[in-house]
């Protein structure tokens, strides 16, 4: 297939594109290469993708409606995976305008492009953060998501309902994926694993929020990519029998569904830090701090719907995944 991957220079986008190319798909990658974090890292990812004959890169900002419309019509993608977004919970507190442009305006532009030039499957990224103030673990797709704790999360929740309206109105086969704390090689420098590894190697102090009393469903990038690849091959159909009072496993009567992609295993933050210490080979210096605004104490994914639909459950252990990241980090940075 010819597959468009937006955010192709990003962590998940790059990893997905590389996997799809290895499966002999043709991949068109879009990215605006913004400077939210190291552009050099993004360019290094693209350089690796450029070695594949089936890859083509186009520098496009999804907030540019004209560029998205004309560019998408030209590609004629069999499937579209929309990952381009402004990421980061804490950054959204200081810079909400960036999330309006990338996550709301950009998402609307993508929906309009898919409406005008149909695709067999529109897959988009959401986040486990949509569960917000929810306390009951594990999180399941039919739980309440009406209480976001950050503006970033609010934009992702908006993406889900925006996509549903287009799936309902225009019959666009659409799948939203709620990612749970993704980590692994080629990860983002603003994420905990990258920061912690860098600090331990440099003998710097690690800021550990909520005094380390947090739990996360850490999901290895290889598992995320495998889940997305299987979802691409399984577009949803309309379900006229769906009943909002008795929804069962379906998300809607429209050709629309939501899946969690997580490891289905809660890990304490301190256990995660111990895995990093073991992989690096030296202890961390910890500074225990209060909880940060917009953060949540615990996440865990119920992935039974994903498993039933595509026959896959993420299963990479934190110890194995962290060791792979640290090996990549040492190699990439020459440490």
Residues with a known catalytic role: 152
Angle between helices 106-116 and 65-75 in degrees, nearest 10: 40
> What is the C-alpha to C-alpha distance for residues 67 and 105, in angstroms, rounded to an integer?
13
Which contacts qualify for 305-309: CB closer than 8 Å, 24 or more apart?
305/140, 305/141, 305/249, 305/257, 305/259, 305/260, 306/227, 306/231, 306/259, 306/260, 306/261, 308/249, 309/231, 309/234, 309/257, 309/259
**Chain centre distance of CA 189:** 15
Rounded to 5 degrees, φ, ψ at 138 are -75, 160
With beta carbons less than 8 A apart as the criterion, state whether 157 and 143 touch: no
With beta carbons less than 8 A apart as the criterion, state whether 268 and 211 touch: no
- Secondary structure letter of residue 264 according to DSSP: S
Angle between helices 192-201 and 269-280 in degrees, nearest 10: 40
Integer angstrom CA distances of residue 153 from 19, 208, 321, 323: 27, 22, 26, 30
Residue 114 Ramachandran class (φ > 0 left, ψ -120 to 50 alpha, else beta): alpha
**Chain centre distance of CA 172:** 21
- Secondary structure letter of residue 181 according to DSSP: S
């Amino acid at each position: 297939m010819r597959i468009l991957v937006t955010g192709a220079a990003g962590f998940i986008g790059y990893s997905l594109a590389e996997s799809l190319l290895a499966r002999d798909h043709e991949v068109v990658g879009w990215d605006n290469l913004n400077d939210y974090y190291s552009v050099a890292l993004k360019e290094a990812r693209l350089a690796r993708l450029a070695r594949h004959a089936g890859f083509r890169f186009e520098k496009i900002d999804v907030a540019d409606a004209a560029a998205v419309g004309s560019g998408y019509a030209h590609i004629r993608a069999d499937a579209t995976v929309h990952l381009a977004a402004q990421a980061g919970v804490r950054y959204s507190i200081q810079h909400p305008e960036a999330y309006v442009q990338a996550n709301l305006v950009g998402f609307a532009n993508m929906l309009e492009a898919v409406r005008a030039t149909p695709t067999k499957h529109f897959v988009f990224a959401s986040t486990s953060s949509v569960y917000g103030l929810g306390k009951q673990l594990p999180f399941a797709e039919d739980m309440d998501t009406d209480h976001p704790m950050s503006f970033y999360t609010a934009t992702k929740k908006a993406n889900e309902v925006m996509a549903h309206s287009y799936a309902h109105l225009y019959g666009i086969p659409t799948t939203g994926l709620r990612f749970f704390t993704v980590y692994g090689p080629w990860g983002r420098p603003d994420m905990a694993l990258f920061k912690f590894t860098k600090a331990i190697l440099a003998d710097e102090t690690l800021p550990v929020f909520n005094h380390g009393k947090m739990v996360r469903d850490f999901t290895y990038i290889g598992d995320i990519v495998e889940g997305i690849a299987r979802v691409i091959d399984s577009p949803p159909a309309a379900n006229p029998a769906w009943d909002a009072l008795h929804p069962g496993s379906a998300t809607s009567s429209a050709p629309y569904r939501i899946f969690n992609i997580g490891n289905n295993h809660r890990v304490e933050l301190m256990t995660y830090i111990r895995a990093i210490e073991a992989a690096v080979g030296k202890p961390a210096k910890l500074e225990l701090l209060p909880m940060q605004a917009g953060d949540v104490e615990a996440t865990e994914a119920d992935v039974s719907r994903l498993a039933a639909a595509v026959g896959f459950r993420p299963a990479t252990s934190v110890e194995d995944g962290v060791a792979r990241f640290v090996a990549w980090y040492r190699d990439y940075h020459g440490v």
